Structure 1
Amino acid sequence: MALMALEWRVMVLLGLLDTCQALLIPRTTFPIGSQGRSLTHFTSSGIKNTTTLLLSDDGTTLYVGARDYVLSLDVSQPGVMEIKHKVDWSPKTSDHEVCRSKGKSEMDCHNFVRVLQFLNTTHMYACGTNAFNPQCSYMNIESFTGSSVSKEDGRGRCPFNPHQRSTAIAVGGELYTSTVESFLGDKPAISRFLSGRGRKDLKLENGHISLNDPTFVSSSFIPSEGKVYYFFRETGKEYTFINDYTVSRIAQVCTSDVGGELLLQKHWTTFVKAQLRCQAGSDLPFNNIQDIVTLPPPEGNNPDDTIFYGVFSSQWPLASGQSAVCMFRLRDIKNVFAGNYYELNRDTQQWRTPQYPSKFSPGECELRKPADKLMFVKDNFLAVDSVGPGDPGLLLVSPDQLYSRIAAQRTRAANGRDFTVLFLLTESGFLHKTVLLAKGPHIIEEILVFTQPQSVKNMLLSITKGVVFVGSSEGIFQVPVSNCSFYSNCAECVLARDPFCGWDHDQAACVEVSAASSGLAQDVEEGNVMEVCKPSQRSSLPHTMRSPVAEKYVQLNEVVRLECPQASRQAAVRWERPGSILPGHLYLQPANGSLSFLASPLTLGTYRCIAEENGYIQTLVDIIVVQRALPRSVSSTPTHSQPRADMVTSQGTQREEVTEVGMEADWEDETEMEAEVRRDDVREVQAATMREEVTKQVPVSDPTNGQEELPAPQEEDVTPTVVRETSSAWKEGMTFNQVKEPLSSNNVRSYYSELVAVSFLLVVTLCMLVAGGVYVWQQQNPSQKIQQGLSKTDEEIASSQEEDPLSANLPQDDMLKEKEQEKSAKQPI
Structure 2
Amino acid sequence: MDITMRFLAVWTVAVAVLVGCAVGQAWKYQPIGDGWHADGSGEEEKTLIDYRFIKYSTMIATGQLFHNESLVSFVQLVVDDERDQLLVGGRDVLFRLDLDSLSVLESVEWGSDPRGVHLCSQRGQEMENCHNFIRVLSLVDTNEVLVCGTNAFHPTCTLRDVNKLSNTTREFEGGGICPYSPHYNSTALMTSSGDIYAATVIDYDARDPSISRRQGPSVWLRTQQSSKFLDEPNFVSAYEIGNFIYFFFRETAVENINCGKRIFSRVARVCKSDKGGPSYQSHLRDKWSSFLKARLNCSLPGPFPFYFDELQSTYFSREENLIYALFTTPANSIPGSAVCVYNISSLMKAFEGPFKHQKSHEHAWLRQDTPRVHTKCTNDNNAKRSSRTASDDEVDTDLHLMDLAVMSREEGPLIMRENERWTHIVVNHVLTKSKKYYDVVFLATDDGKVRKMVHIPESLQTCLIEEIKIVANGHPRPVKNMKFSEKTNAVYISTHGDVIKVPVQRCFRFTTAR
- Normalised to the residue count of structure 2, the TM-score between the two structures is 0.83
Is residue 60 of structure 1 aligned with residue 54 of structure 2? no
Letter in 1 for 2:495: S
Q: Is the 8 A contact 1:237 1:351 kept in 2?
A: no
Equivalence map 1:245-644=2 (5 Å): 245-262=262-279, 263=281, 264-281=284-301, 282-298=304-320, 306-315=321-330, 320-345=334-359, 348=361, 352-354=365-367, 357-366=369-378, 367=383, 368=385, 369=388, 376-438=395-457, 439=459, 440-451=461-472, 452=475, 454=477, 457-488=480-511
Name the Cα RMSD after superposition.
2.7
* Bigger Cα displacement from structure 2, 253-262 vs 471-480: 253-262
Q: Secondary structure at the match of 2:222?
A: coil
Q: Distance in 1 between matches of 2:59 and 2:168?
A: 45
Q: Distance in 1 between matches of 2:393 and 2:61?
A: 57
**Cα distance change on mapping 1:388 and 1:70 into 2, 3 Å:** same
Larger RCO of the pair (alpha carbons < 8 Å, separation 6+): 2
Question: How many residue pairs align between the two structures?
Answer: 458
Is residue 200 of structure 1 aligned with residue 214 of structure 2? no
Equivalence map 1:595-744=2 (5 Å): none
1:111 is displaced (CA, Å) by 0.6
Within the candidate set 217, 227, 231, 2:248 is matched to: 231
Q: Is the 8 A contact 1:237 1:350 kept in 2?
A: no
**Cα distance change on mapping 1:24 and 1:136 into 2, 3 Å:** farther
Is residue 30 of structure 1 aligned with residue 54 of structure 2? yes
Which has the larger helix fraction?
Answer: 1
Q: Distance in 1 between matches of 2:476 and 2:331?
A: 23
Q: Secondary structure at the match of 2:273?
A: coil
Unaligned runs of 5+ in 1: 1-15, 299-305, 491-507, 509-829
**Cα distance change on mapping 1:254 and 1:328 into 2, 3 Å:** same
Runs of 4+ in 1 over 4 A off after TM superposition: 16-19, 23-27, 45-50, 370-376, 451-456
CA-to-partner distance for each residue in 1:72-97, whole Å, 9 max, x for gaps?
A: 1122xx3x111121111111111111
CA-to-partner distance for each residue in 1:147-175, whole Å, 9 max, x for gaps?
A: 375x3211110011111111112221322
Q: Is the 8 A contact 2:447 2:478 kept in 1?
A: no
**Cα distance change on mapping 1:278 and 1:27 into 2, 3 Å:** farther
Q: Distance in 1 between matches of 2:106 and 2:338?
A: 40
Structure index of larger Rg:
1
Letter in 1 for 2:361: T
Letter in 2 for 1:363: T
1:192 is displaced (CA, Å) by 1.4
**Cα distance change on mapping 1:178 and 1:29 into 2, 3 Å:** same
**Cα distance change on mapping 1:49 and 1:82 into 2, 3 Å:** farther
Q: Distance in 2 between matches of 1:456 and 1:447?
A: 12
Letter in 2 for 1:395: L
Q: Distance in 2 between matches of 1:163 and 1:108?
A: 9
Q: Distance in 1 between matches of 2:487 and 2:374?
A: 39
Q: Secondary structure at the match of 1:486?
A: helix
1:371 is displaced (CA, Å) by 7.1
Q: Secondary structure at the match of 2:345?
A: helix
**Cα distance change on mapping 1:334 and 1:482 into 2, 3 Å:** same
1:485 is displaced (CA, Å) by 1.9
Q: Distance in 2 between matches of 1:162 and 1:456?
A: 17
1:46 is displaced (CA, Å) by 5.3
Q: Distance in 2 between matches of 1:412 and 1:435?
A: 12
1:464 is displaced (CA, Å) by 2.1
1:444 is displaced (CA, Å) by 0.2
Q: Is the 8 A contact 2:158 2:169 kept in 1?
A: no
Q: Distance in 1 between matches of 2:331 and 2:358?
A: 28
**Cα distance change on mapping 1:24 and 1:322 into 2, 3 Å:** farther
**Cα distance change on mapping 1:290 and 1:143 into 2, 3 Å:** closer
Letter in 1 for 2:494: G
Letter in 1 for 2:186: S
Is residue 162 of structure 1 aligned with residue 179 of structure 2? no
Q: Distance in 2 between matches of 1:59 and 1:398?
A: 37
Q: Secondary structure at the match of 1:84?
A: strand
Letter in 2 for 1:408: V
Q: Is the 8 A contact 1:175 1:195 kept in 2?
A: yes
Q: Distance in 1 between matches of 2:493 and 2:172?
A: 29
Q: Distance in 1 between matches of 2:331 and 2:139?
A: 40
Unaligned runs of 5+ in 2: 1-24, 35-49
- Normalised to the residue count of structure 1, the TM-score between the two structures is 0.52
* Bigger Cα displacement from structure 2, 43-52 vs 226-235: 43-52
Q: Distance in 2 between matches of 1:374 and 1:203?
A: 20
Which has the larger strand fraction?
Answer: 2
Q: Distance in 2 between matches of 1:107 and 1:456?
A: 21
Q: Is the 8 A contact 1:40 1:478 kept in 2?
A: yes
Q: Is the 8 A contact 2:59 2:469 kept in 1?
A: no
1:141 is displaced (CA, Å) by 2.6
Letter in 1 for 2:375: G
